[in-house]
Structure 1
Amino acid sequence: MQKRITGRFTVILFIIGFMTATQYNTINTDDSRDSRDTWEIRQQLSREKQLYSELLSEISLLEDTLGKYSDEATQDPEAVLKETVADLRSTAGFSQVTGPGIELEIRPSLEAIALGTEITEIPPDLLIRLVNEINRFDGIELAIAGERIINTTAIRDINGYTTVNADPISTPPFTIGITATSMEEARKLASHLTASAIHDDFYIDDLTITISELQEELVLPAFDKEINMEHLQAVEGE
């Protein structure tokens, strides 16, 4: 009888110990993988929502343009066509743009000047990183050292020189002009760039970024190169 009671007691203690160990393991399980996966999903969702918003804006713009053509009250279709061409040229960057914005001056750091450090061309990857930082904001137009940036612009190293639109960029100092959709957006961009960690990246390469005061009418030049259409094909009507 005593052995039976002892056996049952041992089984009960084993079960309690097993449950306690399981609970402890559950509480102390590292859930960093799940958190990371969730964060990646949230980032992907944010990118998809932004893309969706951009597509809606483009659809709305195309519908407005179509409405101008289909409106029977429109007495001057040639004027509508010219307006559409002008809008497309502006969107593509082939027109000079004027708007509220800021200028960034890229120059050697004071330490580099004091120590006589030789300053060479800005590395392409560093310049691309800055452009990506700027493009976090919608409706942005920019020009680097007088070279207008469009969707097909390439920033790369050619024969040891950093180039924008295949033209070499001068050794710092040089300026980057940025226009926004409004003074408020330009102010937000300036604040974002002021607090950005991109300054540390530039400082490592002995460079600094100086942000100008807000300008109500900053002028950016038009894109003056030919766009390579080698791989484009006309779509034949059905």
Structure 2
Amino acid sequence: MINPIKWKFTFVLLIIGLMVAVQYNTVKSPEVRDTRDIWAIRNELATEKKLHSELLSEIRELDNTIHTYESLEDKNTGKALTETVDKLYQQAGMTDISGPGMVIKVKPSKESIAYGIPITGISPELLTRFVNDLNRFKGNVLEVDGKRFTTLSSIRDINGITAVNGLNVSNPPFEMKIITPSFSDGEKLYNYLLASSIHDDFYLDNLILEIGKPKNNIKIRGWHEKFENRFLNELPKGE
């Protein structure tokens, strides 16, 4: 029979061992501290404030729409709904649009042509990086190789070929069109793209960006694919 004193002594040692192990693990793996400098934190704070401002603008716009509906008479409700639908079609990129902007040509680099390097299509990662760089400026409309790019668009690799909205992007050379809110915004975007480090990313893939100067009239086609409605149903009249 086990001596009760030895059993209690063993139990106490077991508890002490567990406590020492927990303490050692805590000391060995301290809580990760934020080691960013003040400027990195300020940049992140500025990004969050910008996002907060954009969300407030969207909420304000929706509140204005609700106020418009509430202040309208029954006979004008249909007109207001039609205007809202037209606005949503424009935001979704379903309509043709024209305005100030620029044309950007994606071409193989001169070195790749001189050395006979095979010309391959732009990678999804590189195209996504370009779109993210472009999104630093709000209110722009983009077309990639004749394909309208919106917030609903996707950039994917399909069988080794980059596709936008499920449609293959041509091998370079091809064009990208950008429409800006105003001509002055186009000039700012033009100067930014000229100095952007995105050129280095393209050059590493044996591609170059030829940034066209801003013009007053750039035309972009709408996305004519129809949306699939799976959830909304039209109610019979009178209900």
TM-score by length of 1: 0.77
Task: Name the counterpart of 1:17.
Answer: none
Q: Give the letter for the 1:151 counterpart.
A: T
1:229 deviates by 6.5
Q: 2-side partners of 1:40 and 1:225: how far apart?
A: 42
TM-score by length of 2: 0.77
Task: Name the counterpart of 1:169.
Answer: 169
Q: 2-side partners of 1:149 and 1:210: how far apart?
A: 20
Task: Name the counterpart of 2:46.
Answer: 46
Task: Name the counterpart of 1:101.
Answer: 101
Task: Name the counterpart of 2:13.
Answer: none
1:46-88 C-alpha deviation (Å, 9 max, x unpaired): 2211111111221222222223222257852221111111011
Task: Name the counterpart of 1:69.
Answer: 69
Task: Name the counterpart of 2:25.
Answer: none
Q: 2-side partners of 1:74 and 1:186: how far apart?
A: 42
Contact 2:180–2:186 (CA under 8 A) maintained in structure 1: yes
Q: Does 1:87 align with 2:77?
A: no
1:109-166 C-alpha deviation (Å, 9 max, x unpaired): 1122222221011111111111111111010110100111111211121111111111
Task: Name the counterpart of 1:149.
Answer: 149
List alignment gaps of at least 5 residues for structure 1: 1-32
Q: 1-side partners of 2:79 and 2:150: how far apart?
A: 26
Stretch moving more, 216-225 or 144-153: 216-225
List alignment gaps of at least 5 residues for structure 2: 1-32, 234-239
Q: 1-side partners of 2:163 and 2:229: how far apart?
A: 20
1:203 deviates by 1.0
Q: 2-side partners of 1:205 and 1:105: how far apart?
A: 15
Q: 1-side partners of 2:206 and 2:74: how far apart?
A: 59
1:221 deviates by 1.2
Q: 2-side partners of 1:220 and 1:77: how far apart?
A: 31
Task: Name the counterpart of 2:27.
Answer: none
Q: 1-side partners of 2:44 and 2:232: how far apart?
A: 32
Q: Does 1:140 align with 2:147?
A: no
Task: Name the counterpart of 1:110.
Answer: 110
Runs of 4+ with deviation above 3 angstroms: 72-75, 226-230
1:173 deviates by 0.5
Task: Name the counterpart of 1:222.
Answer: 222
1:37 deviates by 4.2
The 1:228–1:154 alpha-carbon spacing in structure 2 relative to 1, beyond 3 Å, is farther
Q: Give the letter for the 1:171 counterpart.
A: N
The 1:60–1:88 alpha-carbon spacing in structure 2 relative to 1, beyond 3 Å, is same
Give secondary structure in 1 for the equivalent of 2:194.
helix
Contact 2:143–2:177 (CA under 8 A) maintained in structure 1: yes
Stretch moving more, 207-216 or 73-82: 73-82
